[in-house]
Chain A
């Protein structure tokens, strides 16, 4: 393990050096909040930020992405043949990503990079990306990452972990990609790894202690799908939901997308757009049938997917990393922490209610 010391006075210079090799993405103050976006040459990541309104998932999975183009122009070679547009997969680095958001990328990877199928767009972008994380010294009151499989100093999914020590950063190298990034930036002042790691450990302990929000998940796995599915609390939870896409769009782990074709003149483009399971349109079949036509079915689906089906399928914990974005942004304050705790504590009134299909199958 290597730990590098970066003086803050050297930070901007190193960032500039890295721009020659990497396209940089980072948090930038924009109107009332911070957003993650590509940084032009004179823009530096705002390392004082607390959270970004949208997660950095868009660096690999943009809200709207051209995936194929074709033309009806008979004189051209590509007439009527869909081909991927040219894509830039030169190295890119995400600077200042929070550890829980980096863990989220690993969860999204389970969907886009499977044994059977590798999504060419997401996977090439992932390969090209170096994740330079920033440990969270002062967690938000909405941060419940430690009980959601991550934490303010978690390393999973990161190539470098930066720890803000007032006048300098300690940069813990976590992969070859991370080492190359720091080299390119010219950050090479080695610290005694043992002593520096002790400093990081101390800061980690106090950051984790500062987290005041926790969820309980220990009983979720043991419960049967049907016992939770038929629990009586869904109706109350669903009442206030307005079926907008806010929770899914701000979520770093929501990966669903919609495919749309658009034509203009003789050109056709196939897009992939973020989608959300909250509106009824998400599951409406072309026949008109809708398996989740009712709001209660959709609200239940969101939380069952994140907190039950996901772990049952992948055995990787819940599909939530505790960033708190949906808690903050839901227009009607539907709080995943409360729902998780309800699900975790739920016991059906009668033993026989659990796990049995009641009545006839229609």
Chain B
């Protein structure tokens, strides 16, 4: 058992034993290699099944919306920023939460790992900086730093921004020169190439809405694509309808997205949904110097009004 897992279990057990919280939300092991399962512990026994590894890719803030209990929650950097978002947007109160922060050294990209092998992966074991992958005919040791998810490799906030306790020592926060290099590459494309890029990106979308449902920002009681009166968008596989869904969802996330990558993780078709949200993150950063969820005092720029706003149109 790694140290972070051990610390998370101990902290969760004592929170439940002392009745500081009613439940603790964390991860338990999955049933297939390179997976984990969001899990709620109500007993100390259940809290002893919590794990922490580089497959805890989903964002647990997604499980907070509308809950009434006193909640313990395990939060890496991005989860904590989405918890901050939830607090700002009144989806949960700070007093309701006991946050066990986990300074994060990044999650690995299971699709990238799988693409290294022609056979299916039958076993995966983790060491501090590397992992061992087994297929039917070979065993390979690979370095974590070479297989980080794209969003983890540009992350500058791996430490939780709000927490009550930490399950490990803080990690060094990297300074990334150009954190939007991927967006710049798309911006530099010609009009036709851009069209081609996004056409290709969405070609496989099956509208299962896993991206939306894995996203902590998407908590609307009824999403616009599910409205029937009026019906804003068709429900079939028409490319215009598929694009409308992705474009509008991305705009709803502008200034709120923490680039946690849960959307990409959840997509069964391996679509890099972040190509949309990243562009809006960049625009909001360029225009307002804003990164979402860094504290619980300031509201996102598209959610506030300032009487001395420099733009005329809004006055």
Contact = CB atoms under 8 A, between A and B. Distances in A.
Interface in B212-231: 212-214, 226
Interface size class on chain A is: 35 or more
Interface string B152-192: 00000000000000000000000000000000000000000
Nearest to B209: A244
Q: SS class of chain B's interface: helix, strand, loop or mixed?
A: loop
A141 B120 contact: yes
B88 interface: no
A50 interface: yes
Contact of B265 (A244, A328, A331): A331
Contact of A332 (B38, B111, B226): B38
A245 B209 CA distance: 7
B208 A260 contact: no
B31 interface: yes
Interface in A304-345: 327-329, 331-335, 337-338
Given A141-B120, A262-B234, A240 B268 contact: no
A54 interface: yes
A271 B63 CA distance: 34
A329 B111 CA distance: 12
A273 B235 CA distance: 7
Nearest to A258: B235
A328 B236 contact: no
Given A243-B213, A244-B209, A33 B37 contact: no
B32 A333 contact: yes
B35 A333 contact: yes
Nearest to B236: A64
B268 A250 contact: yes
B243 to A, nearest CB: 15
B237 A63 contact: yes
A103 B294 CA distance: 52
Contacts of B143: none
Contacts of A242: 62, 210, 213-214, 266
A186 interface: no
A246 B32 contact: no
A327 B31 contact: yes
A327 B234 contact: no
A142 interface: yes
B304 to A, nearest CB: 30
A53 B268 contact: yes
B283 interface: no
A43 interface: no
B204 interface: yes
Interface in B108-133: 111, 114-115, 120, 122
A244 B208 CA distance: 6
A31 interface: yes
Given A31-B270, A250-B268, A335-B31, A63 B206 contact: yes
A246 B208 contact: yes
Interface centre among B39, B207, B209, B269 (most CB of A within 10 A): B269
B213 A33 contact: no
A253 interface: no
Interface string B125-151: 000000000001000000000000000
Nearest to B211: A244
Interface string A85-99: 000000000000000
B105 interface: no
B209 A331 contact: no
Given A141-B120, A242-B214, A262-B234, A331 B206 contact: no
Contacts of A273: 235-237
B54 to A, nearest CB: 15
B122 A240 contact: no
A13 B36 CA distance: 46
Interface in A232-268: 236, 239-240, 242-246, 249-250, 258, 260, 262
A32 B115 contact: yes
Contacts of B37: 240, 332-334
A273 B265 CA distance: 25
Contacts of B296: none
A18 interface: no
Contacts of A142: 32
A248 B63 CA distance: 22
A38 B270 CA distance: 22
Contacts of B120: 50, 140-141
B266 A54 contact: no
A149 interface: no
A279 interface: yes
A53 B234 CA distance: 24
Given A30-B204, A53-B268, A63-B206, 6 more contacts: A239-B63, A244-B266, A246-B208, A249-B268, A258-B235, A260-B234
27 contacts: A30-B204, A35-B204, A54-B206, A64-B236, A64-B238, A239-B39, A239-B63, A240-B39, A242-B62, A242-B266, A244-B210, A244-B214, A244-B266, A245-B206, A245-B207, A245-B209, A273-B237, A276-B208, A281-B226, A327-B32, A331-B210, A331-B214, A331-B266, A331-B267, A332-B38, A333-B37, A335-B31
> Lowest 3 CB-CB distances: which A-B pairs, in order?
A64-B236, A331-B266, A244-B210
Interface of B: 30-32, 35-40, 58, 62-63, 111, 114-115, 120, 122, 136, 204, 206-210, 212-214, 226, 234-238, 265-270
